[in-house]
Homo-oligomer: A and B are copies of this chain.
Amino acid sequence: MTPGPSAAPEPPDGVLARAVRILSAFDTRSTALTVSELSRRSGLPLSTTSRMVAELVRHDLLARTDDGRRIRVGVRLWELGSRAAPTRGLREAALPFMEDLHTVVRHHVQLGVLEGHDVLFVERLSARNAVINVTEVAGRLPLHASSSGLVLLAHADTEVQAMVLAGPLRPYTADTITSPDRLRVHLAEIRRTGFVHTPGHIRPAAAGVAVPVRDDRDRVIAALGVVVPNDDTAVRVVPALRAAAQGIQRTMTTPDRA
């Protein structure tokens, strides 16, 4: 996603392409970067980066940190992306059910959508002192490794499935599914049972459990999942997850909702 200097592709043509390249350099772990870091991560010359940053700051899409030495995403960019976000209706329908679920499950409750060949998490509720979890709001995970990703992959177009099955299937732990044959069997099982359980697939101490969320035409539009300690109680959450997914579907398809 963020090419280093050796892998730097040709600087893209067009102001918008360059702006997107710079905005893409920020991520959940790198929320404030110097102009040099932005230049290196975006693969744009320092002078171009500096000029683009100045223009992005002028439009409040980026902002300087208090000490003036680093650059961060501007509140305006968050606002533009959030107030009419395509996932907004889904998130608003899901949040009350996610809260109810969270009261019961504690740890982590998360909602993900298929975006490219990843699951993109649009919401997450976490408890203080919850089991370890690598998910973050607006963060991504590969489809084959995460419970939410597997649910989405099981119901994805055959084209997406073929691309993912063609690999590489990166291992996170010894339990991550890395064989295309095993993955194919797993996906069929998910379609049959309506849920997935991924004990230790990403971190040995954690287990994911996820179910599909459907729209009014019964198409799978999201995955609702929990991340809990990796013990034999994990699968007990399946009925509560299913009930919440039903509730979200009903809320989204009730015509008179606000």
Contacts and interface: CB of A to CB of B under 8 A. Distances in A.
A103 B79 CA distance: 27
B20 A59 contact: yes
Q: Which of A63, A82, A127, A138 has its CB near the most chain B CB atoms (within 10 A)?
A: A82
Q: How large is the interface on A (under 10, 10 to 19, 20 to 34, 35 or more residues)?
A: 35 or more
Copies per complex of this chain: 2
A173 interface: no
Interface string A147-173: 000000000000000000000000000
A211 B55 CA distance: 36
Given A16-B19, A59-B16, A127-B96, A26 B82 contact: no
B59 A86 contact: no
Secondary structure call for the A interface: mixed
B138 A59 contact: no
Interface centre among A31, A85, A139 (most CB of B within 10 A): A85
Interface of A: 14-17, 19-20, 23-24, 26-28, 30-31, 55-56, 59, 61, 63, 72-75, 77-88, 92, 95-96, 99, 102-103, 113, 115, 120, 122, 125-128, 136-139, 251
B27 A96 contact: no
A178 B210 CA distance: 51
Contacts of A87: 75, 78
Contacts of A59: 16-17, 20
Contacts of A15: 14-16
A70 B142 CA distance: 30
Contacts of A63: 86
Given A27-B84, A78-B86, A82-B137, 19 more contacts: A14-B15, A14-B55, A16-B56, A16-B59, A26-B84, A30-B84, A31-B84, A31-B88, A63-B86, A73-B81, A73-B86, A75-B115, A78-B87, A78-B138, A79-B120, A80-B81, A83-B139, A85-B138, A95-B125
